[in-house]
A and B are shown apart, each in its own frame.
Chain A
Amino acid sequence: EVQLSESGGGLVQPGGSLRLSCAASGFTFRSYAMSWVRQAPGKGLEWVSAISGSGGSTYYADSVKGRFSISRDNSKNTLYLQMKSLRAEDTAVYYCAHERDSSGYFDYWGQGTLVTVSS
């Protein structure tokens, strides 16, 4: 059974940093691209970033480019999102998502972790 479990969310001041983690199990982690998708309170879904199975290719939404960094440790079956220079508009639930066969759509999602950027 595929399981994705995010952690690392919390309250952070504007301009601060935070690192999210997503622990994966139930599949061959290194074989699959993964993404982070966020959802601001009461709003829709926004794709944030993606990384290939090897970690060699990364992609970002313009809204986070230069501030966020996606990475993975295939030996630990863990996905990361390093977030810097956080803004109030980054406040959201952050989901990690498993991409089916490098297709671009997501068949498994974690339960999400809430990031609140506020002074």
Chain B
Amino acid sequence: DIQMTQSPSSLSASIGDRVTITCRASQGISNSLAWYQQKPGKAPKLLLYTASRVESGVPSRVSGSGSGTHYTLTISSLQPEDFATYYCQQYSGTPLTFGGGTKVEIK
């Protein structure tokens, strides 16, 4: 199974801050990586796929990059609606696996 390790598990940031979340795979996943945002009591929402492709309707301040085993999600200027938990997910092979999540909180 491909293990996905996210870091940090939580962070505190202010409005306007640049935030970067990292996801590492236990083996190469050839950019088969998606990122989701989840708010309390709600279903996850797709933000990015194929590591860097932005889903329709997602603000341009959200971007993704990476290759091989190392991937990042960046929010260039944090907005109030961005406070949530973020998950990466690999789809290079089954079982599909998610990272442990990163909770972004208000400083």
**Chain A residues within CB distance 8 Å of chain B:** 35, 44-47, 50, 59, 61-62, 95, 100, 103-107, 109-112
Contacts and interface: CB of A to CB of B under 8 A. Distances in A.
A105 B97 CA distance: 10
Contacts of B87: 44-45
Interface of B: 1, 32, 34, 36, 38, 43-46, 49, 55, 87, 89, 91-92, 94-101
Contacts of B32: 104
Contacts of A112: 43
Nearest to B43: A109
Contacts of B100: 44
B98 A106 contact: no
A100 B36 CA distance: 14
A62 B96 CA distance: 11
A103 B34 CA distance: 11
Given A104-B32, A105-B91, A47 B98 contact: yes
A61 B95 contact: yes
A56 to B, nearest CB: 16
A53 to B, nearest CB: 16
Nearest to A104: B91
Contact of B49 (A35, A105, A111): A105
B43 A45 contact: no
A45 B46 contact: no
Nearest to A59: B94
Contact of B98 (A46, A59, A62): A46
B94 A45 contact: no
5 contacts: A45-B101, A47-B98, A95-B43, A103-B91, A112-B43
A24 B36 CA distance: 21
Given A45-B87, A62-B95, A106 B46 contact: yes
Contacts of B49: 100, 103, 105
